[in-house]
Structure 1
Amino acid sequence: MKATLLPPPPPAKRRRGPRVAVLALFLCSLLVPLAFLFDRSQSGYVTTDERRRQEVVLPEFHHVEKADGDGTVNGLNQDAPKKTPKVNSGGLQKHKQTDRHTSRISTKPKVLPSPKVDPSEAVKESTQGTREVSKVRKRLDKGTNTDEVENEKACQLEFGSYCLWSREHKVVMKDSIVKRLKDQLFVARSYYPSIAKLEGQEELTVLMKQNIQDHERVLSVSTVDADLPSFINKKMEQMEQTIARAKSCTVDCRNVDRKLRQILDMTEDEAHFHMKQSAFLYNLGAQTLPKSHHCLSMRHYVILSKNILAASVVINSTVNSSKDPKKIIFHILTDAQNFYAMKYWFDKKSYREAAVHVVNYEDIIKEKLTKFNVRHLYLSEEFRVLVRSTEQPAGKTRMEYLSLFSHSHFFIPEIFKDLNKVVVLDDDVVVQRDLSFLWSLDMGDKVNGAIEFCGLRLGQVRNLLGSTTVDTKSCAWMSGINVINLDKWRKHKVTENYLLLLKKFLTKDETSLRAAAFPLSLLSFQHLIYPLDERLILSGLGYDYAIDEDVARSSAALHYNGNMKPWLELGIPSYRRYWKRFLTRDDKFMDECNIIP
């Protein structure tokens, strides 16, 4: 069989399609990582933090940050068209931390075209993008209020009322240079691990490490610009030059990106920690404020005294009779001569959990209340009054000691401007029962809660009250224990009225000035007295021998008004024992005091 030879087939045409596809895939594999790194239009990295975050999508290129000193908003010049950022060979453009509100999009990074773009086209695209974004923002503006409300609720849910407080008390911190230092340190730390691995860059590595340590040392002691040293500008310039040299080196961009993410996550975690710590300290501060600042149950007692033993007995008896002494604060007004002795005594002594505050009355008047001319401390004034009985035809008379406020009492609202209610105690009072019920009294519009003494009416001393119009049927009142509503005092301008009345009375010397306390006290509180129960305090233990001891023993308080004070030898012996049992007898100085056992 003869074989027939066929002509060879024509050569097939070479197919170039697969080779082009392979080349394109190879180029894409190189461009995708670069596009991922240089994509500045959105947060292109994928978050790996498992902690819950609030995702908020914002339009790109429209996050407005604080303007720099040259009028350029961070990353976006308002006056010049946007320029295409330069890309260093193998390097990474300076990383700027985006705002916390910028979204983290967990999608594939956007593939950018080649960075070589004509400037005119870039301007055109930027302008067009801005217009499109403006349209998008107009559509989103309707839901802005809703988003703000939701963010506020989430903030309150996590950090409580601290969020509202921090926003209301937000102040502009003067730390712009400090923030720039932190930004430089942020970038330098991200480049340092990659530079340290490069051969031949030992000098740059040492220089970067030194600059990083210098920045850390400065920031450890500086929180605002005023704390920074004078040479800080030179340090910042050196760091900027070092960072520029690092950017010019060929480094592994993945390492720099990984380090940036790590530092960013650490910064966010630290900020979250400080936010939680601030919220905790805010709540702690609100709970541990001194009770006198915010708790209405604190009870302030005011005592005017020049006698250490007398004041000590008043405080000791009040504290021992109180059911809750830790809520009691005593303010002792004394003169300059006895101030340091008083302060030494009460600083050394402890009256259970009560607080004792000694005030130099004369210094306060001279330094802070110069408009008042009564600069010496005056204690409660006692006036001997002969009262004639109108029930018996023979007109039998009896003697009473009427104690009233002195001139110094009228400046209590000015001295204690932050208080709204006090109880004034005379230093010749002994408390035998708990007085906490006085703080719950509703005195209405009255100013002074006092014991009325209707054995003497203003009509009976009309000749001593001057030309001022008076209610002749009004009863006199007594000091000893007085509940003073300082808010009502200021409302009725009692101190101002007292000063006007003082000008009408001739006070040539100290004797006439002290005598003027009688009409001034009665007239200044006319129609402003709230009558207390007469059983609250038993008066007359300084002059009346006829008081039943059973009555004295059962009374809530004892008032030793009269000239026979219990600390004097001429004190009435049967009444002195109620006073002496509250003396501090274990003190070594007590042996030198002339106290009759």
Structure 2
Amino acid sequence: MRMAASRGLASFGLLLLMLIFFFEILIFISPVRSGAVPSPVHESLGRRGFKGYKRVWDCGKCNEKQNIGITVAYTDALDNLQFYKVNSRDLSSSWVWENPSCSNVAQLEVVREPKDDYPSTIKEPQPRPRRIDADKLEREYLRQRQKEKRAVQLVQLNKDDELQMQNAAIERSRQFKNPIREMRDKWKDSKSPKAASILKIIKDQIVMAKVYASIALSKNNTGLADSLMKHVKESRRAIGGADSGAELHSRVLECAKAMANVLLLAKHKLYDCSAVTKKLRAMVQSTEESMNALIKQGFFLIQDAVKTIPNPLHYIPLQLTADYYLRHHSIKKAVNKKKLVDRSLYHYAIFSDNVIATSVVVNSTVSNAKEPENHVFHIVTDRWNFGAMKMWFLAHSLSPATIHIKKIDDFKWLNSSYCSILRQGESLSLRQFYFSANHPASVSSADENLKFKNPKFLSMLNHLRFYLPELYPKLDKILFLDDDVVVQTDLTPLWSVDMKGMVNGAVETCRGTFHRYQSYLNFSHPIIQQNFDSQACGWAFGMNIFDLKEWRLRNLTQTYHYWQDLNEERQLWKLGTMPPGLMTFYRLTYPLDERWHLLKLGYDGTIKQVMIERAAVIHFNGIYKPWSALGFSRYVPYWSKYLHHQSPYFQPLALF
């Protein structure tokens, strides 16, 4: 019995201990569920869960406190007080600050809101509703009022107002430009209302039609090739020789549409990117070859036209020469020789075989001179035009100005033993180069020196400018004028320019890298490199004031001879007078104001009228002379107004 009683007592005690144990467990679980944090046993699991939540704060400034340590107290199973620390950033989105005060965050208490039964990884937290301010509500109210007001106006519109609105909408739609449509293939855009664009489209269509026709023939599709070429002929007939949209025929648009349809069909059947590219490249190469051939031909014809004497310039000197000798004008009294050497007068030098051009230069100078009686013109020509030049100024007197005419043969000292250019003209190498005895210049030869084979480059008249001190030994200053200039104002102020010891007064022509010494001389030659600066600024002949006293003092004519002799084989420069002029007057040229001398009227057709009218002298340097058919029509009146239109020598011609 005692043993049974002891066993029962032991069982009861064991049961009591188990009840106490479970009771302690319940006590332990309760604080965790009521607001603490998981026990250390569940720490890793809890932290993994925290990372999936968005941290929510009901304090706007508390977002700045994202790294706050929180201490949690709890009792374990043995009734021992335990502490656990957790970081605020690891809390889940269901934990918020209760009664937050951002100024004292350390005193905040953490509470937990009721949580859904679903895990946080499945259901995202809902955003908290934002407060709408009064300004936003007012704006929404005004917008709603405007909508209602507009709706009432639309309902009350009459038919006239409604029709007016429709027309305005249609007009806006017409004016709207769709950039996508403009980017379509050009041969599809055949509905463009602009005639100029239609012309360009048709030309592009013709090119593509040729490409596809060639591809079609290579694939034995003769039917499509014939159709394409047929439309090419029709398109060419439609546009004709039109250079602008205004010249197009009315049926051009129909041709463009028909060609567009054929091209679309050809593109659908034959389009091959590599084949089209090859054909286009071949067409470009062929076009470039044709263009180069035409450029060479045009250059040859222009140079030939420059050397050709126009009919009036050929007829008038013949008639003048005949009249001079038949009417015995050669025995008339000479001009006043005292004026020819008077240093107080204004002296001009003109060397030319062109009677009409020389007459314009002299007439324009005298017409614009304030004191024409003080101007003396020294004209030198060749033996063939001497009588014509004399007869012209006898028949068209420019009194009270003095005009003295001589021929080259009157200067006996100008011979091959003294003049380098005359001596070189007798050499075999120069004659072969100039006259092309073995290699005549032609279009096929593409002679790059063709432009240097103009007779003027070997004419002694073109080189007389380098002998001015010997030609006029008693003069101190002289103004040199080319025969292709027109004087538009009084030039006497040039004689009073202080040239500061320089010999040549001229207008500089360099702009950027253009018209510098490197453009005229061969700087690959060591002699040129050693003596000249390649970037030195160039200037122009045509209107130059020369100090003959300084010229004689520096013996510059011998300097000219020195460089001319070194260039006998044309290694320093080609032909012409500009390169030896730059070398002879190197660092001896005084730059004049650019308004004294305006150049380029013989090759540049874009010079502004204001620049022409303000210039003292305009120069038709280049191949497009105003007395030839090549001259620019907009410049010709500046030259032709100084012609003697009432001259009996012009009446049978009436060309100028």
State if a TM-score over 0.5 links the two structures: no
Range into which the TM-score falls when normalised by the shorter chain: 0.3 to 0.5
Higher share in helix = 2
The TM-score with structure 2 as length reference comes to 0.40
- Structure having the higher Rg: 2
